[in-house]
């Protein structure tokens, strides 16, 4: 297993007010838990440059007047993009663990993994790069779709010409995915050609998006887009549609855009 997405269900010990964007805290918790099981892996993740083989969501759940309630449960999602991280992620958490957000203890009440019979959460899954590529790229596979709808569940933004671009333009969206794919997959895709095809032959056919802050630190604020967007291929070449299909399925694990380890870019195909 190279790719893994799991969900933690947490209950706070008491009512408390926490900042709305806790992606950084979620990332710190994951590294700390991984360090307990595999210190070398955690150190490598912390020190590595470039794309990280994991993503973290923000703490999700109901708040009344900004307060978390012990009568409610909250969720946190982590994904892994390599086999060592996937293995470490499965060992990092167990029901009954206590995780601390901003000095607030939260008890892990449920751990939702792929294959749980009672759960069909579309954010949970597992796969391998080889199997994922084979499903879409082999001639025996199903006919590829030329429309691809996505849900942007957390603020999603891109770096373009030194600026932050919150609108998910096709070249930026699929360019982000192919960069992450090539960083970790054993089967490389032609990155420059993918970006070119997305820029020239893929259009946004519909969208329902709003801007939202995805990250703030001191005076720094990163704005991203939340909502739904549908891409439509203008040139229905089977190979390129198949490549886009692979990347669309990969998005659930990889995230899209910047700061995916800090709660941004949580995206999946609809």
DSSP assignment string, the chain: --EEEEEEEEEESS-EE--S--HHHHHHHHHHHHHHH-HHHHHHHHH--SS-SEEE---BS--BTTEE-TTS-EEEEEEESSHHHHHHHHHH--TT-EEEETTEEEEEEEEE-TT-TT---TT-EEE-HHHHHHHHHSTTSPPPPSEEEEEEEEEE-EEETTEEE-S--HHHHHHHHHHHHHHH-SS---HHHHHHHHHHHEEEEEEEEEEEEEEEETTEEEEEEEEEEEEEESS--HHHHHHHHHHHHHHHHH--SS-GGGT---EEE-
Provide the token pair at 16. Answer: 């408390």
Output the pLDDT for position 64. Answer: 83
In DSSP notation, 177-206 reads HHHHHHHH-SS---HHHHHHHHHHHEEEEE
Cα–Cα dist 180/113, whole Å: 23
Q: What is the pLDDT of residue 217?
A: 64
The pLDDT value given to residue 24: 87
Of 142 and 87, the structure prediction assigns the larger pLDDT to 87
Measured CA to CA, the distance from residue 202 to residue 191 in angstroms comes to 15
pLDDT tens per residue across span 109-122: 999 998 875 568 89
Confidence check: pLDDT of 180 > 80:
yes
Residue 218: its pLDDT value, please? 60
**pLDDT score for 118:** 54
Q: How far apart are CA 24 and CA 28, in angstroms?
A: 6
First to last CA, the chain: 23
C-alpha distance from residue 188 to each of 84, 180, 183, 191, 243 (Å): 19, 10, 9, 8, 11
Q: What is the mean pLDDT of residues 206-223?
A: 84
Length of the chain: 270
Can you tell me the mean pLDDT for 173-179? 98
Quote the percentage of the chain above a pLDDT of 90. Answer: 73
Reported as a pLDDT band with limits 50, 70 and 90, residue 143 is confident
- Report all structural domains of the chain as residue ranges with CATH numbers, in order of start: 3-112 (3.30.70.1890), 129-269 (3.30.70.1900)
Compute the average pLDDT of residues 154-171.
94
209-220 average pLDDT score = 80
Q: Give CA–CA dist 171/80, Å, rounded.
A: 24
**pLDDT given at position 43:** 85
- Among 26-35, 118-127, 259-268, where is mean pLDDT lowest? 118-127
CA distances from 211 to 46, 153, 156, 215, 258 (A): 30, 12, 9, 12, 15
Give the tens place of pLDDT for each residue, 10-36: 999 999 988 878 888 999 999 999 998
Q: Is the pLDDT of residue 219 over 90?
A: no
Place of tokens 């519909």: 206
pLDDT averaged over the chain? 92
Share of the chain above pLDDT 70, in %: 97
Provide the pLDDT for residue 166.
95
124 closest CA partner among 168, 89, 159, 78: 78
pLDDT at 71 over 90: yes
């Amino acid at each position: 297993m190279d790719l893994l997405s799991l969900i933690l269900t947490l209950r706070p010990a008491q009512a408390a007010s926490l900042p709305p964007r806790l992606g950084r805290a979620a990332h710190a918790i994951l590294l700390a838990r991984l360090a307990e099981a595999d210190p070398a892996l955690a150190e490598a993740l912390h020190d590595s440059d470039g794309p990280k083989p994991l993503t973290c969501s923000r703490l999700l759940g109901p708040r009344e007047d900004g307060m978390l309630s012990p009568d409610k449960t909250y969720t946190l999602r982590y994904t892994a993009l390599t086999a060592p991280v996937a293995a470490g992620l499965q060992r990092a958490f167990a029901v009954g663990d206590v995780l601390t957000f901003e000095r607030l203890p939260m008890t892990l009440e449920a751990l939702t993994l792929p294959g749980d019979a009672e759960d069909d959460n579309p954010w949970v899954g597992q796969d391998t790069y080889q199997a994922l590529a084979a499903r879409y790229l082999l001639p025996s596979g199903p006919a590829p779709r030329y429309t691809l709808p996505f849900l942007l569940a957390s603020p999603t933004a891109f770096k373009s010409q030194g600026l932050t671009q919150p609108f998910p333009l096709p070249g930026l969206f699929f360019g982000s995915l192919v960069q992450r794919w090539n960083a970790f997959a054993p089967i490389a895709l032609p990155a420059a050609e993918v970006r070119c095809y997305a820029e020239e032959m893929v259009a946004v056919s519909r969208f329902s998006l709003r801007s939202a802050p995805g990250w703030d630190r001191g005076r720094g604020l990163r704005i991203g887009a939340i909502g739904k967007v549908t891409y439509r291929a203008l040139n229905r070449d089977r190979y390129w549609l198949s490549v886009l299909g692979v990347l669309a399925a990969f998005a659930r694990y990889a995230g899209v855009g910047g700061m995916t380890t800090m709660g941004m870019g949580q995206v999946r195909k609809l």
